[in-house]
Amino acid sequence: MSFFSRLFGNKSTNQKPVEERNMFNLQTDDIVTYDLEDYKVVGKISYDDHGFKWHAYQLEGTSKTIWLSVEMDDELYLGMYEKIKLKLQEPIPKKIEFEGVTYYLDESGTARVTGIGRNQNINGMVCQYYDYCDDDEENYLSVEKWGSEIEVSRGYDIEQYEVKIIASK
C-alpha cells in the first residue's frame, strides 16, 4: 500500500466516477448556468409521441423557475420556456394573440410522459400538446393539456454554448 493510500484511504473502490453531463442526461440537483444565473435541476419530464421523444428540465433559480426544452430532430434544438398566465379553453385555437404577438399552431399531438424529481407524479400520464410560433419563428408558445388543466409557456431558441452544466453527483 502506498503512502498516499494509507494517508487518505483507498476511496477509489467505493466511489463511482461522476458521469459527464450533456443535454440528455441532466440529473436532479445538477446546476445549469444560463444568462449569468445558476439554476438547480429540480425535475424532468420526458415526452414520447409514438417514438418521437423530447425532454423538458425544470430549472429553479433564486427568482424564477424556467424550463429547458431539449429535442433531437436531425440536429439539437434547445429552448428556454417560462410559464405565463393565459387562459385558454377547448377547442384549442389555431392562432393565439399574446402581448402584441400572434402565434400560429405549428404542430400538435399526444405524448406519454415520465417524470423525475418534482415531476414524478405525472409518470404514465398522457398530455396533449400544441406548439405555436410567431411569423419570424423566433418566439414560441407551448400549450399542454393535462386532463382538464391547460398550461401555457412562452419560449425562444437558445444555443448549446449558452448553457453550462455542473454535475451534482
Place of cell 437558445: 158
The full set of domain ranges for the chain reads 3-166
Q: What mean pLDDT comes out for the span 38-59?
A: 97
pTM: 0.88
pLDDT the model gives residue 169: 84
**Confidence band (pLDDT; 50, 70, 90) for 17?**
confident
Tens of pLDDT, residues 90-118: 999 999 999 999 999 999 999 999 999 99
For 125, residues 6+ apart whose C-beta sits below 8 A from its C-beta are 112, 113, 146
